[in-house]
Amino acid sequence: MNHYTLALFLHVAGDIGIFIGLGVQLLCLTPLRRAQRVEQVRLIAGLVRTADIISTTGALLTITTGLYMGLTAWNLQIGWIAVALGSIIVLILPLIAGVIEPRTKAVVKLAGEAEAGPIPAALGKHIHDPILATGLQTAAAIVLGIVFLMTTKPALVGSIITMAVALALGLVSGLPFWIKRRQKV
């Protein structure tokens, strides 16, 4: 086994970690939205925190090994590699740091501070925030788009189209959360 093969394995393992983390967070949205008591939210929030650690670790592993392979065996200027790296920098990192993390942390914090019993309005507002749900689904779609680039290795134009489609699908998949929110108002 050579270094590239090991890096490729760790890269794929990191991708799996990202999908596990995002998947658990997405799956937690349903019971969070159905929770009636703060105690239920706290329990689910613990799963969300664990999933966040898994996806963050997977992302760091994926980025590190991807850069290693890009610098040693490939070329960072190859279309699909440049678009994948650009998608991480321009789409994924701001989405996670600016949208998903602050909203997830707010739910965890408010659940930890709330007294046992019915869910307070402020916590309920954060739980039902359509931006959080849309952000998670969009992150998952973008990561899936990057995996598509890694496996099919399209040219620059095809890579850009792939990521535009992934972004659009992620955003459109969040529409039901916005519609549901409007119906409640």
Residues 128-141 have pLDDT tens digits of 999 999 999 999 99
pLDDT attached to residue 179 = 87
pLDDT attached to residue 181 = 73
* CA-angle at 27, arms to 21 and 32, nearest 5°: 115
pLDDT attached to residue 1 = 79
Is the four-CA dihedral 87, 91, 97, 100 of positive or negative sign? Answer: negative
pLDDT attached to residue 112 = 92
pLDDT attached to residue 183 = 65
Distance set, CA 36 to CA 17, 31, 33, 182 (Å):
30, 10, 8, 21
Point out the residues of the chain with pLDDT beneath 70: 182-185
Tokens 């740091």, located at residue:
97
Q: What is the pLDDT of residues 87-126, one digit of tens each?
A: 999 999 999 999 999 999 999 999 999 999 999 999 999 9
- What is the pTM assigned to this prediction? 0.90
pLDDT attached to residue 4 = 94
